[in-house]
Structure 1
Amino acid sequence: MTNDRRVLVHPDKGALAGSVAARFMTKLLDLLDAQETVHVVLTGGSMGGAVLSSVRDSPAHASIDWSRVHFWWGDERWVPEGHEERNDRQSREALLDSLGLDAGNIHPFPASDSGLTLDAAADAYTAELARYGSDGLPYPVFDIVFLGVGPDGHIASLFPHRSGIQVVDRPVIAVRDSPKPPAERLSLTRPVINAAQRVWMVLAGSDKASALGLALAGASRDEVPVAGIKGRRRTVFFVDRDAAAEVPEALIARDY
C-alpha cells in the first residue's frame, strides 16, 4: 500500500473550496460503492466551512447516500452547545443540517454545558470512538480526515511546543493550554489521525506558507505539528497560490 504526500495548488480560495468539495463527493461515491459505511473527520475554520458549503450548493451532493456516512471532528473548543465558536455548529450550518441525517450519524465532542468535566468529556469521546473501532484499534480507521493548518503549523488542537502532539497512549486529549483562545479544548491525537486512510489538509492564505514549507522540508513535529501527520494511503495538501509560496516546484503535483 503506497503512501505519498501531494500538494495541489489552486488559483484562489473559491477555486480551492470548489475543487476539494468535488473531490470529496467523488471519493465518497467510490467508497460507498466498495463498503457499507464511511467515516469522515471534519475541521473548522474558514476553509473547512467553505468546502462544506460548496458540497451543499452542488447538485452532485444529491447522488450520495449520506445515511451511510458518519461525521466526526478533529477537535473542539470547550464552549457550550450551539456556541458560535464550536466547529460542529459551523459544519451543521454549512452542510449537515441540510442532509436530514439521523443523530447517530453525527458524533460531536461534548460541550462545556454537558455536565461533564473536560477530562470526563475526553473519556466520553474516547468511548464513542471505541464503539466504532476497526482493525483492532479502539477508534475507527477514518476514510478521510479533513484538517486545517494554523500559521504556526498546528493541526486539530495539537500545538507547537505543547505536549499534545507527543501523546500516543490515548485517542483524545483534554487541552488546557492552547495558545489560541479558548485555552480549553478537546482534540484527537496524532495516532488516530495517522491511522486514517486519507488525510486532506486544506490551506489558504500567505500566512500559511511558512508552516507548509517547513512541514514539507522535514521540520520537527514538535516545532511544526503538521510535519508529523501522514495518512495510511495518501496525504494531500490542497492549497491556494498564496499558501504555496514556499513549496518547492518539484513537490507540486500536476494532478491527484
Structure 2
Amino acid sequence: MEIICRRRGIDYSNQSLKSGLADSPRPLWGWSDEDTEIESPLFSFFKALAMMKMPLIIPRQLTILIVEKKQWSKGYVVASAFFAPILLVFLWSTRGNVSSQIGTAVYVIGVLFGAGLSILEFIFLRSDQPPCKFLFPWVFEGFMMSIVWFYIIANELVALLVALGVILGINPSILGLTVLACGNSMVDLMSNIALAMNGGDGVQIALSGCYAGPMFNTPFGLGISMLLGAWSKRPASYMVP
C-alpha cells in the first residue's frame, strides 16, 4: 500500500511539473521557434561566409565520389565521374613542362574518359540506392580525389605563405618553422590532448604519436617529394631552391 501511494505521489508530482511548465511563459529549452526565426548579425555574417565558400565547395562535391547511403545522389556520382579526370588533367597540365599539342591531346583523352565513365554510371546505377557490390573502385576513387584536393589546398596554402613572406619581408624558413609548423601540427595536438586526458593506454599512444608523426613525415613526406624532384631532373643534379 505504501509503495502504491509513493508511485501515485510521483505521478502527481510529474503531472504538476508538466502543467507548471505548460502554464509558464518561459520556454522549456530557453528559446522558442519564434526566436530562432530572427537572424542575428553574426548568423548573417556566417551565412554570407558560407556563400563565399560555394565556389570551392561545389567543385569539390562534383569531383569526389560518395557512395554513402545517407548522402547518395546519382547526379553527383555521374558528375564526379565526368569532372574528376578533367581535374587531374588540368593539374597535370599546369606544371609548365607540357607542350601545347600534348596538353590538348591529354585534355581530349580526359574528357572522353570522363564522358565514358559518366555514361556507364548513368545507365547502370540506380537513383534510390548506392551500389552494394564491388565497392572498392568507388571508395578508391573518392580516396584518391580527396588526396588530390589535399594537394591543391596544400599548394595554395604554401603559395599564400610565400606571398606573405615576400610582402612582409620575412624569411620563408622562419615562416615554415612557425606558422606552417603550428598549422600542420594543430590536429596532432588536439588528438594527443584528447588521448592523454582519457588516461590509461591513451597516454602512451599520445606520447608515441608525438614522436611517430615527425618520424613518419621526415622519411616519407620529405623523402618521397625529394625523390620525385630528383627523378624529374634526371640525369642532372637536383638543386634545392
Give the alignment's TM-score, normalised by structure 1.
0.22
Q: Greater share of strand residues, 1 or 2? A: 1
Larger Rg: 2
Q: Greater share of helix residues, 1 or 2? A: 2
Q: Which has the higher contact order (CA 8 A, sep 6+)?
A: 1
Give the alignment's TM-score, normalised by structure 2.
0.23
